[in-house]
Structure formats: C-alpha cells, structure tokens
C-alpha cells in the first residue's frame, strides 16, 4: 500500500487529493511542524531534505509534488482522464504541472520568508528588519505575486480549468499556489474565475476526503 508522509499545512494535501481521485488505498504518516515551522528530523529520516510530500510505493520513494503527480497518474491513472487528450491540451497540462512549483511557489516562498524576517531578528534591529520586509514586499514581491494572480485569472477565464475544458491533475498541482497566494496577499484585481474554480475544486469529494485524512490545512480558509 502507498504511504504518504504528510507534513501539516503543506503541499502534501495535493498528494492525498490525487490518491483519492485515483481511488487508490493509502496510509498517512502525519508530521507536526516545530516552532520554527520546519519539519521534524523524523521526516529527514525518510528523505534527506526533510520535505513533504514524500510517498512510498512498493519500496519506491518518490519526492517532489510534480514528480509524485506524474508517477501516480502514470501508474494508476487508467481512464480517469486526469491527463487531457490532444497535443495542445497536453502541452498546457505539462506547463501548469511544472509552473506550480517552478514559477509560482518561489515568489510565494519569498513572500513568506520576508514576512517572517522581523520575528527572527534580535529586538534591537527589528525596526530595520521591518523596514526591509515592508520595502521588499511592496516594491518587489507583492507586484510579482499580483502578476501571477492576474495570469491565473486570465487562464481560468478561458475554460474554467488550467489545462483543459475539464478537471485534470494540473488543477491539483495548481491548488496549493493559488490557495497559498490568495491567503498571503490582498489582491485587488478581478478574480471571479479563480473564485469559481476554487469553489469547484473544493466541492469535489476527493478534495474533501483528503482534508479528512490529512488534517490541518489552513489554506482552505483563504478568501478568493
């Protein structure tokens, strides 16, 4: 049986959701974050980087969300249409599958790091750290995040999903950057297509079941 090493409030929700869509039996080993928000050493015992998700399947360990998605869809996808048909849709599918971690998440990680900067500095330099954090966010990070959110909205306006006229695993991959992004920035632009998409994916039984299995996932409370 597949085991998912699940760090609370993390990208790992997508692995559970995908397995629910694939109707594959799996077990979950949950890891709690420390006070520094890092994963515990026990997760590093599974994979040297100590990142989540990591899955184990018949002795094979697979890390990285995109790689896990490709592995599971390739092995267990069958006729569930989690990959689209047609060359153009497949091209889009591949793009969004890798864009989620390759382009979207780095800027969101910068947003998180700079927001935490003042808390991690000594008291005497906190005012300087706050000024640096605020300046980086307002002049560099937030405008870039806004550009990405506008791109999501434009893309979803076309067909309601990211890669095809129907739900695919690319939508699962995009769920975390969209939910995390909207929870960390006050975006003023149009996002009606994003709102409709979020409502659609969150109403899927597999999405809800993954929340039950995984537990803490605060990004379900983000507002679109």
For the segment 156-197, what is each residue's pLDDT rounded down to a tens digit? Answer: 999 999 999 999 999 999 999 999 888 877 788 889 999 999
Mean of the per-residue pLDDT values for the chain? 86
Angstrom distance (rounded) from CA 213 to CA 28: 7
Residue 71, pLDDT above cutoff 90:
yes
Question: In the chain, where are the structural domains located?
Answer: 2-76, 87-204
Q: Which two tokens stand for residue 62?
A: 């697979």
User: Are the C-beta atoms of 177 and 108 separated by less than 8 Å?
Assistant: yes
Q: Could you tell me which of 220, 204, 218, 217 has the C-alpha nearest to residue 23?
A: 204
Q: What is the mean pLDDT of residues 205-219?
A: 82
Name the pLDDT band for 97 (thresholds 50, 70, 90): very high
Percent of the chain topping pLDDT 70: 83
**Highest mean pLDDT pick, 11-15, 33-37, 96-100, 119-123:** 96-100
Angstrom distance (rounded) from CA 117 to CA 126: 9
Q: Which two tokens stand for residue 20?
A: 């629910």
What pLDDT score does 65 carry?
95
Q: What is the pTM of this model?
A: 0.88
Residue 5, pLDDT above cutoff 80:
yes
Class of the domain covering 87-204? mainly alpha
Residue 48, pLDDT above cutoff 60:
yes
Q: Which two tokens stand for residue 70?
A: 């490709």
Alpha carbon of 174 to those of 27, 54, 78, 117, 178: distances in Å? 24, 18, 22, 27, 6
What pLDDT score does 125 carry?
57
Cα torsion 132, 133, 135, 136 to 10°: value is 110
What pLDDT score does 169 carry?
97
Residue 168 has a CB neighbour count (10 Å cut-off) of 26
What pLDDT score does 108 carry?
86
Name the pLDDT band for 79 (thresholds 50, 70, 90): confident
Q: What is the mean pLDDT of residues 30-57?
A: 84
Going by the DSSP 8-state scheme, the letter that residue 218 receives in this structure is G
Angstrom distance (rounded) from CA 126 to CA 196: 40
Q: DSSP 3-state assignment of 70? A: helix
Residue 1, judged by CB atoms within 10 A of its CB (0-12, 13-18, 19+), counts as: exposed
What pLDDT score does 184 carry?
76
Count CA within 13 A, CB hemisphere, residue 128. 5
Class of the domain covering 2-76? alpha beta
């Amino acid at each position: 049986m597949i085991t998912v090493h699940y760090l609370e409030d993390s990208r790992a929700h997508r692995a559970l959701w995908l397995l629910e869509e694939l109707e594959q039996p799996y077990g979950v080993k949950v890891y709690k974050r420390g006070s520094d928000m890092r994963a515990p050493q026990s997760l590093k015992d599974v994979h040297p980087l100590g990142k989540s998700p990591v899955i184990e399947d018949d002795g094979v360990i697979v890390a990285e969300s995109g790689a896990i998605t490709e592995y599971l869809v390739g092995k267990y996808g069958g006729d569930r249409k989690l990959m689209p048909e047609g060359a153009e849709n497949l091209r889009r599918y591949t793009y969004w599958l890798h864009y989620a971690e390759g382009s979207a998440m780095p800027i969101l990680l910068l947003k998180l790091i700079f927001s935490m900067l003042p808390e991690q500095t000594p008291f005497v330099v906190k005012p300087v750290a706050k000024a640096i954090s605020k300046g980086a966010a307002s002049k560099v990070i937030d405008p870039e995040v806004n550009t990405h959110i506008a791109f999501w909205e434009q893309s979803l306006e076309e067909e309601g999903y990211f890669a095809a006229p129907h739900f695919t695993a690319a939508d699962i991959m995009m769920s975390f950057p969209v939910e995390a992004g909207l929870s960390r920035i006050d975006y003023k632009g149009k996002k009606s297509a994003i709102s409709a998409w979020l409502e659609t994916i969150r109403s899927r039984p597999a999405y809800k079941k993954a929340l039950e299995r995984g537990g803490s996932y605060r990004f379900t409370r983000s507002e679109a």
